[in-house]
Amino acid sequence: MSTFRIDTKGVPERADSLARLSRKLIEDAGLLDQYASEFRSEGLSGIRSALRKLSNKLQMEAEDAKRLQAGLEEASRQYIILENRLKIPKPAEENPAFDEEGSCGGSQITPLAFYRGEDGEIRQGIQSIVRSYYPGLDEKGTEDLLADLELEGCGYVALANTLFGQYVGREDQFRKIFGFPMYAGTGELNFELLVTDLYCSKDKRWKTGTTREEREEIWEEYLEEKGIPVDVRTVEVTAENYEELSWEGELIVGISPCILFDSDGKKVVEAEGGHAMTITGMTDDGRYKVSSWGMEYYIVPNDPAYERMQFQQVCY
């Protein structure tokens, strides 16, 4: 969804101004009629006629001002309704990548796991995508590529997670654009195919991981090639502005080191290096819910243990 927005806060004041203008025009038209009626002699008929014409013109302009006022108020009302309907849904509530049945986004681990598993729809899809980018790659080379994705693919997964909510009810369009269905035959979202396609399309094989700036470039270029407008921007997220930002676009956080907690506040992951994740919500006590490896974790924004915490917003 586009982030185009109209400031409707000033509409009531402008509508009042138009109402005042309309009343003033009607008052002035009445005065002109009064003046015209005072010019009764035949010799002043030209002045009387001119005053009547001017009065009629002012009355017409008053009606125009009334119509403009009504149109402005209606346009504002309709825009507010439309904006509320088109607001980007909060990930944990509307994006099918995150649901109440336990789905919590994709994982950079699963493409390799599926490829090493039994032959099936997803494995064949992964193989087809890899070979479309690397026609000469053999089985070992494909496994090595997917192992690299497992090692460094967190940023790709975080970006891919944000897309599915845009195609709810438009699954046929998703398939036409990306060349594979939004859902696998199992009914699960095709995370593995989307992440593999993104990784093969945009990864620089000579380097490891992605920076915030690189993720912006990767996602914007990948979707631009498919005709999908998107704006990935750097934002500062706080407890105070989280809700507003989450309605404007989905949020990604990059942290270093990787320290994650469970819902009870127990530290369950602690590893060196950076890690990027999609934010799926915020707790009442100010912790961010995040999706990582297809599971829900939590991070504490003000924990001094984090050397780096950077945010991005993905706006469609």
Specify the residue for token string 């607001």.
87
Q: Beginning with the edge strand found earlier in the chain, give each strand of the sheet holding 250-256 in spatial order.
A: 231-235, 308-315, 250-256, 275-282, 288-292, 295-299, 258-261, 267-271
Q: How confident is the model at residue 82 (pLDDT cuts 50, 70, 90)?
A: low
Q: Which of 261, 250, 270 is nearest to 296 (CA)?
A: 261
What's the confidence (pLDDT) of residue 13?
A: 77
Over residues 242-249, the mean pLDDT reads 89
Domain that holds residue 182: 91-315
In the block, tokens 């825009």 appear at 79
What total of structural domains would you count in the chain? 2
Q: What is the pLDDT of residues 21-80, one digit of tens each?
A: 888 888 888 888 888 787 777 777 788 788 888 888 888 888 888 888 888 788 777 777
Q: Which amino acid is at 58?
A: L
Rg of the chain over all Cα atoms, to the nearest angstrom: 30
State yes or no: pLDDT of 175 exceeds 60. Answer: yes
Q: Which has more confidence, 170 or 17?
A: 170
The residue that leads in pLDDT, 40 or 311, is 311
User: Quick one: pLDDT band at residue 271, thresholds 50, 70, 90?
Assistant: very high
Q: From CA 204, how far away is CA 68, in angstroms rounded?
A: 56
In percent, the amount of the chain with pLDDT more than 70 equals 91
Considering the domain architecture, whether residues 64 and 104 belong to the same structural domain is answered as: no
110 is a domain residue:
yes
How high is the pLDDT of residue 278?
97
| 37, 54, 86 - which closes a domain | 86
Q: Please, are residues 122 and 184 in contact by the beta-carbon 8 Å criterion?
A: yes
What's the CA gap between 236 and 244, in Å, rounded? 12
Query: At 2, is the pLDDT very low, low, confident or very high (cuts 50, 70, 90)?
Result: very low
Q: Which of 20-24, 149-153, 184-188 has the lowest mean pLDDT?
A: 20-24
Are 105 and 187 members of one domain?
Answer: yes
Integer angstrom CA distances of residue 285 from 128, 239, 298? 45, 9, 11
pLDDT at residue 3 in the model: 46
Predicted confidence at residue 8, as pLDDT, reads 62
277 closest CA partner among 306, 245, 234, 310? 310
- Tell me if 291 sits within 8 A of 98, measured CB to CB: yes
111 with 260, same domain: the answer is yes
Residues 163 and 295 in one domain: yes
Residues paired with residue 296 on neighbouring β-strands, in sequence order? 291
Residues 293 and 245 in one domain: yes
Quote the pLDDT of residue 88. 45
Other beta carbons within 10 Å of 182:
21
